[in-house]
């Protein structure tokens, strides 16, 4: 292979790097390492980031999630599971800021098939909509913020919001409610390290035991109830301990 | 001003399955190969560690391992009467970013296409007559046959360590496998994965319904396995976190588990991560690629010369790069001229959820742990009475039971409130889903071009996708879904919910990441971008890998065929092109 | 590939007139360079002399010692910063007596107490190979040692106590294979530098040789014939496979030993590997092999440890401790698990490690670290459980031991 020889010869003669322009990007040259695994550790769970919501906003969210997945005869619900904390932390992080979304204009409403086209990140959507909702409710006969309505009234209001019947900006209420329900389910069923699913309340409701890596024996035990204790990424205690 | 770098023999754009295989094959041949990957480097440990990877929120919900639309996305519309708008969040499909590509986060459902799939037009015309094919349906023959690809399917399966049961070895049918598959030379390298309860129940019901179920071929190893390249793989332990996640114990086939160990340390291979290729560069004749232009993580531009350029990025990204680079005539749907962007296709899917009374423990799963009925795929049945082309498989997959996204609830369950909570509690452990996975033909009005308005972070126009399902696909999908419902009924569930795919294709709910076409292969440069060796008709020292080569999309997951085509092209490059660089076939 | 490069480098230097870069004439005896090319990795020179990301053999790498850090010097033939000006005699003195051309003592971090056993022929072949490499200009960093060790003359005292100069003398009552093994283990391989216990001055405890020792923050296992904690139940073929490929069905080289395999032992000939195995298999059992008693299943430590094992470890090592054949070693019956000093085990669990990539076994499986999610108590209970389950018989591990190891890791030791 003539090409290969020539390259080797040149490499040997000019011993030090930089033949012509040097690549400013260091290549990832794979070095067989026996160094321990670095990285791959999850984000710093022991010290959660600051929340995003104001006390009034958080009161709204807490009251709303308490209706979306209520405490009832089946057991605790989203409020007890800490879903408001979960949502607060999520909104304060990259999800809330829509860091990975395409947020360039121009902006226009599209068809149902074209998906979310609002110029609002989730954090902005929560902030704008909660403000409009509480303003709206202040002018209504109830004259109270959502968090202070009774459960029945809250349910009625959320149904109306879901159907787009609450008269606030455009489609805001309907889109917001959809996302709120999605975030509530996330917070109820995500690993406790994110602040929700406290004490595995969500997983205990449905019977999901948590992340384990080996079911080679159990997968063949057809129909059997799996009765291992609940576990999360941080272990059987929830949430993450101080290391 | 771009910095000009020392030349290499081969530059690969992207570093997923196709690039990993090509890099191995071409460095074997003594070439100096450079791969440029826009995402970061990832390896089993630490990035997919069993200690941290089973994090549904981080990876499945917040898309930890995928591409980020804020850097690159596309605009979408169903038809040309609409304004295409950006896909602002991932939805319908989830391409990867990072070393290993989607080979990291796929489920591992691995198939061969049928022999008839490769001659879709000529076979259909022959069996059903020319008029059976609608005028605006632009299906065509591939230019390569199943028989020619068979040894390369075999190579990919032995590279991956596919766990399965052969249904047709050299013409001899084995009912333990897929009786409809094309003939293969030998068994799969590994036996099928252990069956879970839901696949056993499906199997029984499918037989009662009169069909022929078999275990799905899985790129999840059923036993420890040393692969085609001499790399040892582990054994799947059914952790239930395949799709969207990396595998932490070396048992899901991926470039990391199958190729990296023998590739990355080679003196004649180099990988640069966080380098995004923006153009394929050509000389003044326009007929020779001189290399690529790329931008590194700090935004600095480079010119990387190379003797051979191979596009190994995800399907539509390859098409986008061709359009931006001005290589090949862009497709114009109005005139039906041009080829780049033409014949985009996808997959049409549906499902039938079943609710039983026994514990199914869905959280014990694997990405390709499934039982499949292939009776209604391809041309495995007589289409004459039905008036549609194509088909799909019916499968009960038990990929996992991840609580946020993988819980099934009966029809008409409220989306919130106590009734919702009750449904969650009563159904999570006892529900399963039968999926249909159907073909999508190519049409004049389904294509990719450049968006006139929206730009990516590099200032380049986004690709614009114009796509919808046609009557043919809806008819076919309804037919296959009805068969799936028959199986569901035979499982005697306490409830079932048929979820037919709705009228228009929506970019919102996840369906599959099986985007195909746009740089199709063929024997006629008027209807293909690359020839049957995946070599550009316009620029002989440019090859384009991936599912963008599919002229239309059959009813199976694409990766097996993408892998086979890569081995096929690698052989053509090694045996023919390197000896005599130039066009490998005449027009 | 290496020969290719070395030869081309030498030829290029001559042809392209790069002679001024080399102060001495390059030895063009191909056979001699080849001998050296084999022996240099056999002595695992790269472990110290090649720093990550830097030129081969140019030094710079930090070598931790119990007393402080020494930075390996440059052994490329650079005339100013390397050994380019050294004569054969000077190189011999360094290897055989631990003395530099200027008469200064080398610190015994450089394993001259072991290399003293090498024949002059071998030593000069190694020099010929090193001289054939491209010279690299790289200054050595001064060592970071406490006084009085900064005074090199103090090494003379150490030598008087612990160093016995002398080429290996074959034992005529043993087979040639045994003697070859002895020469490799006691000489080039300098295995005892890690695998033998050392006293507080860093001298080898000759009576307990090969019964295990500290090396680079890990505990290198016992190599004597103990069936649980040593090589007593390993066959010679298993030893060969381990050194050649980095793993066998009972163990996988991790951490510093993985480097030894990938830089050194994987390049040895089969005959030499069998010789090493023959010599090692002849080491009689000595010292404590296993604990006299182990905690029972209902001991609270065992119960707690079992929970951790099932949640964190069973995914790879399986609930029955059997591991996965050819992939993840069994912890049941595992030699490393029985080590009297659990430092390596604690390190593995806290920090994880990679295994060697060899030609035969390129996969290089790695183990993740769990130190971020397990407390010292949990790690201690886990190790106690592993060391006393499935027939394993090793003593419990304390949380304070785990805490010690965690501190060392944090300090980068």
B contacts of C258 (beta carbons < 8 Å): none
**Nearest CA-CA distance, residue C80 and chain A, Å:** 16
Cα separation of C54 and C138, whole Å?
10
Cα separation of A243 and C285, whole Å?
41
Coil, helix or strand for B269?
strand
Residue from the list B61, B264, B507 with its beta carbon closest to the beta carbon of A30? B264
pTM score, two decimals? 0.91
Mean pLDDT of A7-11: 33
Question: Is a pLDDT exceeding 60 seen at residue B325?
Answer: yes
Give the residue, C54 or C306, on which the prediction is more confident: C306
State the pLDDT at residue A44.
Answer: 53
Q: Looking at chain B, which subunits does it touch, using at least 3 CB pairs closer than 8 Å as the criterion?
A: A, C
Q: Is B262 on the interface with C (CB under 8 A)?
A: yes
Q: B407 lies in a domain?
A: yes
pLDDT digit string, tens, across residues A66-99: 999 999 999 999 999 999 999 999 999 899 999 9
Question: Is a pLDDT exceeding 70 seen at residue A10?
Answer: no
Question: What CATH architecture is C300-410?
Answer: Orthogonal Bundle (1.10)
C contacts of B159 (beta carbons < 8 Å): none
Coil, helix or strand for C74?
coil
Question: Is a pLDDT exceeding 60 seen at residue B108?
Answer: yes
Residue from the list A113, A191, A213 with its beta carbon closest to the beta carbon of B505? A113
Residue from the list B50, B52, B261 with its beta carbon closest to the beta carbon of C316? B50
Question: Is a pLDDT exceeding 60 seen at residue C411?
Answer: yes
A contacts of C57 (beta carbons < 8 Å): none
Question: Is a pLDDT exceeding 60 seen at residue A17?
Answer: no
Interface contact flag, A34 C53, Cβ < 8 Å: no
Q: B585 lies in a domain?
A: no
Question: For chain A, how many residues are written?
Answer: 243
State the pLDDT at residue C14.
Answer: 34
Cα separation of C308 and C296, whole Å?
17
State the pLDDT at residue C373.
Answer: 87
Question: Is a pLDDT exceeding 90 seen at residue C53?
Answer: no
Question: Is a pLDDT exceeding 90 seen at residue C279?
Answer: yes
State the pLDDT at residue A41.
Answer: 52
State the pLDDT at residue C133.
Answer: 86
Strand segments, DSSP code E, in C117-212 are none
State the pLDDT at residue C157.
Answer: 82
ipTM of the complex: 0.95
pLDDT digit string, tens, across residues C84-120: 899 999 999 999 999 998 888 888 888 888 899 999 9
State the pLDDT at residue C52.
Answer: 64
Segment 5-34 of chain A within 8 Å of chain C by CB? 5, 8-9, 12-13, 15, 31-34
B contacts of C382 (beta carbons < 8 Å): none
Q: B587 lies in a domain?
A: no
Q: Is A220 left (phi over 0), alpha (psi -120 to 50) or beta?
A: alpha
The DSSP secondary-structure symbol of B184 reads B
State the pLDDT at residue A49.
Answer: 65
Confidence of residue B133 (pLDDT cuts 50, 70, 90): very high
Q: Which residues of C touch B (CB under 8 A)?
A: 1, 312, 315-316, 324-328, 352, 354, 357, 360-370, 373
Average pLDDT, chain A: 82
Average pLDDT, chain B: 97
Question: How many helices and strands (H and E) does chain A possess?
Answer: 7, 0
Confidence of residue A33 (pLDDT cuts 50, 70, 90): very low
Q: Kindly report the CA angle at B237 between B564 and B431, in degrees rounded to 5?
A: 95
State the pLDDT at residue C150.
Answer: 74
Best to test chain B binding among C352, C355, C357, C364 (most B CBs inside 10 Å)? C364
* Least-confidence region, from A147-151, A237-241, B367-371, B508-512: A237-241
User: Token pair 């290089």 is at which residue?
Assistant: C364
Tally the domains of chain B.
1
Q: B136 lies in a domain?
A: yes
Interface contact flag, A235 C319, Cβ < 8 Å: no
Q: Looking at chain C, which subunits does it touch, using at least 3 CB pairs closer than 8 Å as the criterion?
A: A, B
Question: Is a pLDDT exceeding 50 seen at residue C54?
Answer: yes
In 10 A of CB A162, how many CB atoms?
18
Percent of chain B with pLDDT over 90: 97
State the pLDDT at residue B565.
Answer: 98
Mean pLDDT of C66-81: 84
Mean pLDDT of C9-23: 33
User: Token pair 């440069």 is at which residue?
Assistant: B525
Residue of chain C minimizing CA distance to B44:
C366
Question: Is a pLDDT exceeding 90 seen at residue B101?
Answer: yes
Q: Structure tokens of B80?
A: 């040309």
Q: B485 lies in a domain?
A: yes
Question: Is a pLDDT exceeding 70 seen at residue C344?
Answer: yes
Residue from the list B239, B249, B261 with its beta carbon closest to the beta carbon of C357? B261
State the pLDDT at residue B538.
Answer: 98
C contacts of B44 (beta carbons < 8 Å): 366
Interface contact flag, C311 A12, Cβ < 8 Å: no
**Nearest CA-CA distance, residue C186 and chain B, Å:** 31
State the pLDDT at residue C142.
Answer: 82
| Residue range of the domain that includes B96 | 3-577
Question: Is a pLDDT exceeding 60 seen at residue C283?
Answer: yes
Question: Is a pLDDT exceeding 50 seen at residue C274?
Answer: yes
Question: Is a pLDDT exceeding 60 seen at residue A11?
Answer: no
pLDDT digit string, tens, across residues B187-196: 999 999 999 9
* CATH number of the domain to which B266 belongs: 3.50.50.60
* Least-confidence region, from B165-174, B382-391, C107-116, C268-277: C107-116
Quick one: chain A helix, strand, coil %, rounded to 5?
A: 45, 0, 55
Mean pLDDT of B446-458: 97
State the pLDDT at residue C207.
Answer: 85
HEC letters along C213-266: EEECCEEECCCCCCCCCCCCCCCHHHHHHHHHHCECCCCECEHHHHHHHHHCHH
* Least-confidence region, from B17-26, B212-221, B397-406, C362-371: C362-371
Closest CA to A8 of C209, B267, B163: B267
Residue from the list C328, C357, C366 with its beta carbon closest to the beta carbon of B45? C366
Q: B586 lies in a domain?
A: no
Percent of chain C with pLDDT over 70: 92
Q: Could you give the residue numbers annotated as active site of B?
A: 514
Q: B582 lies in a domain?
A: no
State the pLDDT at residue C51.
Answer: 75
């Amino acid at each position: 292979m003539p090409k290969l020889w020539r390259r080797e010869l040149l490499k040997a003669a000019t011993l030090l790097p930089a033949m012509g322009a040097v690549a400013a990007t260091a290549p990832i040259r794979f070095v067989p390492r026996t160094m321990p695994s670095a990285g791959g550790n999850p984000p710093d769970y022991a010290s959660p980031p600051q929340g995003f919501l104001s006390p009034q906003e958080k009161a709204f969210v807490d009251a709303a999630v308490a209706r979306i997945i209520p405490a009832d005869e089946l057991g605790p619900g989203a409020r007890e599971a800490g879903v408001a904390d979960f949502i607060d932390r999520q909104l304060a992080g990259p999800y809330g800021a829509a860091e990975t979304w395409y947020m360039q204009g121009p902006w226009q409403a599209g068809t149902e098939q074209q998906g979310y086209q609002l110029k609002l990140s989730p954090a902005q959507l929560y902030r704008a909509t909660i403000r409009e909702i509480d303003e709206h409710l202040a002018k209504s006969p109830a004259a109270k913020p959502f968090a202070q309505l009774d459960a029945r009234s809250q349910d009625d209001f959320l149904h109306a919001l879901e159907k787009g019947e609450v008269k606030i900006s455009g489609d805001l209420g309907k889109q917001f409610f959809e996302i709120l329900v999605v975030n509530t389910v996330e917070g109820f069923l995500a690993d406790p390290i994110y602040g929700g699913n406290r004490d595995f309340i969500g997983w205990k409701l449905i019977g999901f035991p948590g992340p384990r890596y080996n079911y080679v024996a159990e997968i063949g035990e057809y129909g059997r109830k799996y009765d291992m204790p609940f576990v999360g990424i941080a272990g059987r205690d929830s949430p993450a301990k101080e290391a | 001003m771009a910095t000009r770098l020392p030349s290499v023999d081969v530059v690969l754009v992207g570093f997923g399955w196709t690039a990993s295989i090509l890099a191995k094959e071409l460095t074997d041949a003594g070439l100096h190969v450079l791969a440029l990957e826009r995402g970061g480097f990832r390896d089993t440990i630490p990035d997919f560690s069993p200690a941290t990877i089973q994090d549904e929120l981080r990876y499945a919900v917040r898309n930890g391992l995928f591409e980020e639309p804020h850097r690159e996305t596309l605009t979408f519309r169903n038809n040309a009467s609409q304004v295409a708008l950006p896909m602002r969040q991932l939805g319908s499909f989830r391409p990867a970013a990072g070393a290993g590509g989607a080979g990291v986060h796929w489920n591992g459902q691995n198939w061969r296409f049928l022999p008839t799939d490769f001659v879709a037009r000529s076979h259909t015309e022959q069996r059903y007559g020319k008029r059976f094919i609608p005028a605006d349906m632009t299906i065509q023959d591939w230019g390569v046959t199943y028989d020619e690809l068979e040894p390369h399917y075999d190579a990919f399966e032995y590279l991956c360590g596919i766990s399965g049961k052969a249904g047709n070895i050299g013409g001899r049918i084995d009912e333990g496998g897929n009786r409809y598959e094309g003939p293969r030379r030998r068994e799969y390298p590994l036996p099928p994965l252990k069956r879970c309860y839901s696949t056993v129940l499906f199997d029984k019901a499918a037989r009662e319904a009169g069909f022929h179920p078999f275990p799905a071929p899985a790129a999840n190893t059923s036993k420890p396995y040393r692969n085609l390249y001499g790399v040892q793989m582990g054994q799947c332990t059914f952790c239930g976190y395949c799709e969207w996640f990396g595998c932490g114990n070396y048992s899901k086939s991926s470039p990391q588990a199958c190729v990296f160990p023998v590739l990355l340390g080679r003196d004649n291979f180099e990988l640069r991560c966080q380098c995004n290729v923006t153009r394929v560069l050509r000389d003044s004749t326009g007929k020779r690629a001189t290399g690529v232009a790329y931008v590194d993580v700090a935004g600095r531009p480079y010119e990387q010369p190379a003797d051979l350029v191979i596009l190994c990025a995800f399907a539509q990204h390859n098409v986008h790069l061709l359009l931006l680079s001005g290589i090949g005539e862009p497709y114009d749907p109005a005139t039906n001229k041009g080829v780049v962007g033409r014949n985009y296709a996808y997959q049409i899917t549906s499902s039938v959820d079943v609710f039983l009374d026994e514990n199914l423990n869905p959280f014990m799963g694997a990405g390709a742990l499934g039982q499949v009925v292939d009776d209604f795929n391809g041309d495995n049945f007589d289409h004459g009475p039905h008036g549609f082309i194509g088909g799909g498989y019916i499968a009960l997959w038990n990929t996992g039971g991840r609580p946020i996204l993988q819980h099934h609830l009966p029809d008409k369950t409220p989306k919130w409130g106590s009734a919702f909570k009750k449904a969650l509690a009563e159904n999570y452990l006892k529900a399963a889903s039968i999926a249909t996975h159907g073909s999508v033909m190519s049409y004049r009005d389904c294509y990719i071009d450049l968006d006139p308005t929206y730009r990516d972070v590099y200032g380049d126009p986004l690709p614009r996708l114009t796509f919808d399902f046609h009557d043919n696909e809806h008819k076919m999908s309804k037919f296959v879904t009805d068969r799936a419902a028959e199986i569901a009924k035979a499982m005697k569930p306490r409830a079932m919910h048929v979820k037919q795919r709705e009228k228009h294709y929506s970019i919102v709910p996840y369906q599959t990441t099986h985007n195909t076409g746009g740089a199709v292969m063929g024997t006629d440069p008027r209807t293909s971008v690359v020839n049957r060796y995946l070599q550009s008709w316009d620029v002989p020292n440019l090859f384009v890998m991936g599912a963008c080569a599919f002229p239309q999309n059959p009813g199976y997951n694409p990766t097996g065929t993408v892998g086979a085509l890569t081995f096929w092209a690698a052989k053509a490059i090694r045996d023919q092109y390197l000896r005599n660089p130039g066009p490998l076939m005449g027009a | 590939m290496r020969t290719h490069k070395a030869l081309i480098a030498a030829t290029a230097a001559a042809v392209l007139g790069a002679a001024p870069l080399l102060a001495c004439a390059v030895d063009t005896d191909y056979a001699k360079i080849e001998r050296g090319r084999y022996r240099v990795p056999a002595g695992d020179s790269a472990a110290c002399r090649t720093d990550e990301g830097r030129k081969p053999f140019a030094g710079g790498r930090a070598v931790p010692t119990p007393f402080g850090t020494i930075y390996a010097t440059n052994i490329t033939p650079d005339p100013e910063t390397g050994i380019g000006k050294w004569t054969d005699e000077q190189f011999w003195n360094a290897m055989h007596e631990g003395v530099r051309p200027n008469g200064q003592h080398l610190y015994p971090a450089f394993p001259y107490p072991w290399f003293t056993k090498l024949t002059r022929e071998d030593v000069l072949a190694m020099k010929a190979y090193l001289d054939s490499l491209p010279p690299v200009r790289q200054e050595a960093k001064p060592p970071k040692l406490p006084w009085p060790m900064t005074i090199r003359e103090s090494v003379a005292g150490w030598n008087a106590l612990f160093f016995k100069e002398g080429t290996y003398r074959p034992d005529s009552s043993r087979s040639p294979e045994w003697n070859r093994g002895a020469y490799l283990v006691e000489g080039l391989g300098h295995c005892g530098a890690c695998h033998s216990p050392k006293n507080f001055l860093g001298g080898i405890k000759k009576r307990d040789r090969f019964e295990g020792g500290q090396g680079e923050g890990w505990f290198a296992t016992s190599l004597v014939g103990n069936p649980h904690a040593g090589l007593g139940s390993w066959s010679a073929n298993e030893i060969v496979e381990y050194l050649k490929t980095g793993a066998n069905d009972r163990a996988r080289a991790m951490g510093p030993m993985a480097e030894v395999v990938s830089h050194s032992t994987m390049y040895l000939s089969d005959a030499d590997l069998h010789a090493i195995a023959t010599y090692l298999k002849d080491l009689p059992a000595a010292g404590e092999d296993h604990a006299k008693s182990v905690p029972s299943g209902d001991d609270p430590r065992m119960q707690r440890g079992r929970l951790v094992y099932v949640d964190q470890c069973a995914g790879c090592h399986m609930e029955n401790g059997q591991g996965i054949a050819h992939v993840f070693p069994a912890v049941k019956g595992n030699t490393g698990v029985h080590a009297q000093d659990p430092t390596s085990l604690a390190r593995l669990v806290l920090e994880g490690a990679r295994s060697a990539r060899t030609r035969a076994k390129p996969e290089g499986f790695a183990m993740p670290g769990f130190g971020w999610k397990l407390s010292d108590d949990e790690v201690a209970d886990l190790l106690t459980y592993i060391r006393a389950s499935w027939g394993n018989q090793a003593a419990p591990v304390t949380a304070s031991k785990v805490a010690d190891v965690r501190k060392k890791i944090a300090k980068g030791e």
